[in-house]
Amino acid sequence: MQKQLKNGNFYLGVAVIVMVILFISSSMTYQQQSQVSLIQKYLANEPFKESLSRISFNYAGSEVSVSAKGYVKFVEFFIRKAAHFLTYFILGGSLYLGLSPKLKQKSSVLGLLFAWLAATGYAATDEFHQMLTGGRTPLFQDVMLDSFGALTACLIIMLFHQFKKHR
């Protein structure tokens, strides 16, 4: 296992697993993925509704607020967007960690750039895949959110490596 971590293959394996999970997820309709009933069950008393009611913004041309979506769909929106960010955070980070040993003395910026662009490219193809799936809406804004998640992971890892190297 230590060798797999050192040569980056473990992390590339994690990236492949994340991509398979994302592909399967994109093959599902909104109804198959919906967490509305689960949220209704566990948040039936609508905690923090008053505070959340003060939040309102536009995402992909639609208003996102408790008044526009209702409490449950508003909460689900944030869960779904957090899932976008976090899965691509893991994808981008695992690609960066998987590629870093293979680049060795070459620029860590090159590894960051490749990992980030690969994750962003996968996000774009994933949204295209959603377009082919019934009941799904592909959004450019989701690609940007995914891309930001991947970039965030790559930057954190790169900064951590730089900090560790200088210590």
Tokens 């008053």 sit on residue: 50
Q: Around 51, how many Cα atoms within 13 Å sit in the side-chain half-sphere?
A: 4
pTM: 0.91
Q: What is the mean pLDDT of the chain?
A: 92
pLDDT of 33-88, one tens digit each?
889 999 999 999 999 999 999 999 999 999 999 999 999 999 999 999 999 999 99
Tokens 């899932």 sit on residue: 83
**What tokens appear for 159 in the block?**
């900064």
Better pLDDT: 113 or 101: 113
Domain boundaries, the chain: 2-34+82-166
Q: Which helix (H) or strand (E) holds 25?
A: helix 9-26
How far apart (Å, rounded) are the C-alpha atoms in residues 29 and 10? Answer: 31
| Beta-sheet strands, E only, within 6-142 | 56-59, 62-65
pLDDT of 111-158, one tens digit each?
899 999 999 999 999 999 998 887 888 999 999 999 999 999 999 999
SS3 content of the chain, % helix, strand, coil (to 5): 75, 5, 20
